[in-house]
Chains A and B, each alone.
Chain A
Amino acid sequence: MITVRKLVKRFGLKTVLRGLDFSVEPGEFVALLGPNGAGKTTFLRILASLSRPTMGNVNIAGYALPGQAAAVRRRLGVVSHLPLLYGDLTAEENLRFYARLYNISHAQTRISEVLDLVGLVSRRRDLVRTFSRGMQQRLAIGRAVLHDPEVMLFDEPHTGLDQDACLMLDTVLREVAARGRTVVMTSHDLARVADLASRFDVLSRGVITASIKRSQVEPNNLLAFYRQALAEA
């Protein structure tokens, strides 16, 4: 579903990604782990077609980036630590706006389904700026799955959420992944992703330094695996 070969990204003289190779099979849930400044967000922004690679090949769902970006965007749902929602519009108006951009047929039915999925049906007519951070993040997931994308990218979606909001977000994430979508999620919280992902990749100094499937590692050994991967980088 996602194939990345020898990806390089430079900002001026600074090289953030140094010949990164990465691939994800359809339906896989990959947690991308790494320290601050490792290049996780830059990598995700390239996958999301928000940033152009300096060199290398990126292919998502059979379409190459950046040349076929519009086709990739149609198949992609992105959630970051920012909600990407308009505070002065209601939850329903925000989703209706994105439904028009994604040319979704039967938008009203789909909006109701999505609000139900993220548990915000009762708040559909409230302005987003009155929502708590957790509710905004759930609505952000609703916005990202509105067009039923094949691939989901999550960039540290738990940032700034309290414990209850994190648990609720995890429930929604499981629901999203359970529908056979391919998911790539960056995170610092190993305990949290240990339960969610089916594979763990460590990104350090601009390359993937280690990769392991959940079946190959005990959840309480994930931290040791992560530290070893960083030490060997």
Chain B
Amino acid sequence: MQPIPQTENQVMRKEPTLGLGQFIRSLTAIIWKDMAAELRSRELLSAMLVFALLVILIFNFSLELDAQARTTVTSGVLWATFAFAGTLGLNRSMAMEKDRGCLDGLLLAPVDRSAIYFGKAIGNLIFMLIVEAIVLPVYSVLYSVNLFKPGLLLVILLGSIGYVAVGTLLSTMAVQTRTRDVLLPILLFPLVIPVLIAAVKGSTGFLQGAASEDILPWINLLIVYDVIFVAAAFMVFDYIVEE
């Protein structure tokens, strides 16, 4: 590498660029690390899952619903469950990085910091989708509602992406404060209201067999939200993690 003289006793060098290969290698390393650690401890998934199942059971016992009402409230109950369980997972996932200084370990590595964000976000999304995949059949049995409709599954995927995109960014901010457990839901829920509204409306549409022109605006809103917040997180993550 050719040094570029700056002053008498100081030389400046050109910074080598970080390639796409290194970006993908770092991203997959972070996802692998989260999966391997969770496979051992099962702390995050078990907490999310137990919490989600408890919420569903409480709703089941507290709301005595007829068949028609069940279809109406299903999407609301489901998304409230996913949102609460998701917050638990987001907090735990980032706390794992902070507690032993591992977040600093990631930030010290010569990788694009957006790779750290996307690695953590994809890991969180996988955990959330696993919980959802277990909650859906349990809910179907308890409430006698068929939830295995491709349209509904698409809404759940899009809603989860939006939720995790914002949640991962905000949990990175919240984890640096002493009140992280309280702060994350306070910051997160107002921001994900558009996702929750669109996801509930879209889910209800698919469950009640509404016309596609009634559902499509909600799907479009979810897609736009996902794109905007993933792009925003990509741009601001570097500033959020630096003091």
Give residues in A with beta carbon < 8 Å to B. Answer: 3, 11, 45, 48-52, 59, 61-64, 66-68, 70-71, 73-74, 76, 78, 80, 82-89, 93, 97-98, 100-103, 127, 143
Nearest residue in B to A48 (C-beta to C-beta)?
A: B108
- Whether B12 contacts A100 by the Cβ 8 Å rule is no
Measured in the bound complex, the distance between the Cα atoms of B38 and A177 in whole Å is 36
- Whether A86 contacts B33 by the Cβ 8 Å rule is yes
Give residues in B with beta carbon < 8 Å to A. Answer: 3, 6, 9-13, 15-16, 18, 22, 25-26, 28-29, 32-33, 36-38, 40-41, 96, 100-102, 104-112, 242-243
Could you say which of B16, B26, B29, B41 contacts A88, with CB atoms under 8 Å apart?
B41
Could you say which of B3, B96, B105 contacts A143, with CB atoms under 8 Å apart?
B105
- Whether B109 contacts A85 by the Cβ 8 Å rule is no
Could you say which of B12, B38, B41, B104 contacts A64, with CB atoms under 8 Å apart?
B12
A159 CB to nearest B CB, Å = 12
The 4 A-B residue pairs with the shortest CB-CB distance, nearest first, are A82-B101, A84-B105, A100-B29, A101-B109
Known: A45-B243, A86-B37, A127-B40. A71 touches B13 (CB 8 A): yes
Q: Which residues of A contact B243 (CB under 8 A)?
A: 11, 45, 50-52
B109 CB to nearest A CB, Å = 4
Measured in the bound complex, the distance between the Cα atoms of B15 and A67 in whole Å is 9
- Whether A93 contacts B108 by the Cβ 8 Å rule is no
- Whether A80 contacts B36 by the Cβ 8 Å rule is no
Q: Which residues of B contact A102 (CB under 8 A)?
A: 109-110
B80 CB to nearest A CB, Å = 30
Could you say which of A51, A62, A80, A84 contacts B12, with CB atoms under 8 Å apart?
A62
- Whether B108 contacts A89 by the Cβ 8 Å rule is no
Nearest residue in A to B17 (C-beta to C-beta)?
A: A70
Known: A97-B29, A102-B109. A80 touches B104 (CB 8 A): yes
Q: Which of B3, B41, B101 has the most CB of A within 10 A?
A: B101
- Whether A52 contacts B242 by the Cβ 8 Å rule is yes
Measured in the bound complex, the distance between the Cα atoms of B109 and A86 in whole Å is 15
B172 CB to nearest A CB, Å = 14
- Whether B105 contacts A50 by the Cβ 8 Å rule is no
Measured in the bound complex, the distance between the Cα atoms of B96 and A164 in whole Å is 29
- Whether B10 contacts A3 by the Cβ 8 Å rule is yes
Q: Which of B9, B26, B105 has the most CB of A within 10 A?
A: B105
Q: Which residues of A contact B110 (CB under 8 A)?
A: 70-71, 73-74, 101-103
- Whether B105 contacts A85 by the Cβ 8 Å rule is yes
- Whether A59 contacts B242 by the Cβ 8 Å rule is no
Measured in the bound complex, the distance between the Cα atoms of B38 and A157 in whole Å is 29
- Whether B37 contacts A63 by the Cβ 8 Å rule is no
Nearest residue in B to A87 (C-beta to C-beta)?
A: B100
Measured in the bound complex, the distance between the Cα atoms of B36 and A82 in whole Å is 21
